[in-house]
Amino acid sequence: MRILYLVSIVFFMVSCSAIKRSDRWKNPEFTEFNPKNILVVGVTPDFEARSNFEFVLVKALNARNINAIQSSVVFEKLFQDTTKTEEEIEAQIHKLLTVDYNTVLISSVKGVQENESRSGASPKFDYNLQRFLGSYLASRDDYFSQDDYKKYKVFYVETAMYTLKKGEEKSLVWYETYTIIDPSNIAEITDDYVKVIIKSMEKEKLISTEK
């Protein structure tokens, strides 16, 4: 039984996605919220990465009969700094409302952590191993004294949805945070991340599950 238990743990860690959901919250005031026009914002100074992410997410929303548009098309030079994005949106609310965009979906990196894989396994496996056996590994000198290790990054990302009203500040409808482990293949991780966002929004009944 013990062997079976250990095997199941290893299988769980190997099969875990490189993208993990963390915290989430939905405003109880928005029980019936079905956005029709959404501005999609990817917050990054890398215009190419921003444009690609927004394009993939817009395409997924369009497939659900939602009129979504990329912020990189409307506001090319805005929304590059996490600390300024909300202020920039406040300043652009009137412009967005005049073209019928009353919802904004923002995705931004909130933090980056440098990790080291000492297990000789993939970053995804090592990250889950450290989380599962953290206190045990911390006491194991043989784990941290290994010469063979690989550095990798873990990104903490937040996606939030706001609704806009004329003459009022934007209202937070929903947010969810995610952990992205070692996003080395940007195109692949972007596709996977968008799929996770869409599933989260479907679960919260912010968008329809039907295409």
Q: For residue 11, count other CB atoms closer than 10 A to its CB.
A: 10
Q: Domain-by-domain residue ranges, the chain?
A: 18-203
**What was the pLDDT predicted at 175?**
95
**What was the pLDDT predicted at 124?**
58
**What was the pLDDT predicted at 21?**
85
φ, ψ of residue 175 in degrees (nearest 5): -150, 155
**What was the pLDDT predicted at 106?**
92
Sign of the four-CA dihedral 122, 127, 133, 137: positive
Residue count of the chain, please give it. Answer: 211
DSSP assignment letter at 79: -
**What was the pLDDT predicted at 198?**
94
DSSP element (H, E) containing 73: helix 71-74
What's the rounded Cα separation, in Å, for the pair 194 and 105?
12
CATH dotted code for 18-203: 3.40.50.10610
Angle 211-179-12 from CA coordinates, rounded to 5°: 85
**154 three-state secondary structure:** strand
Q: For residue 63, count other CB atoms closer than 10 A to its CB.
A: 12
* pTM reported for the whole predicted model: 0.75
What's the rounded Cα separation, in Å, for the pair 24 and 175?
6
**What was the pLDDT predicted at 15?**
42
Residue ranges for the chain with pLDDT beneath 50: 1-16, 135-139, 142-143
**What was the pLDDT predicted at 164?**
87
**What was the pLDDT predicted at 82?**
82
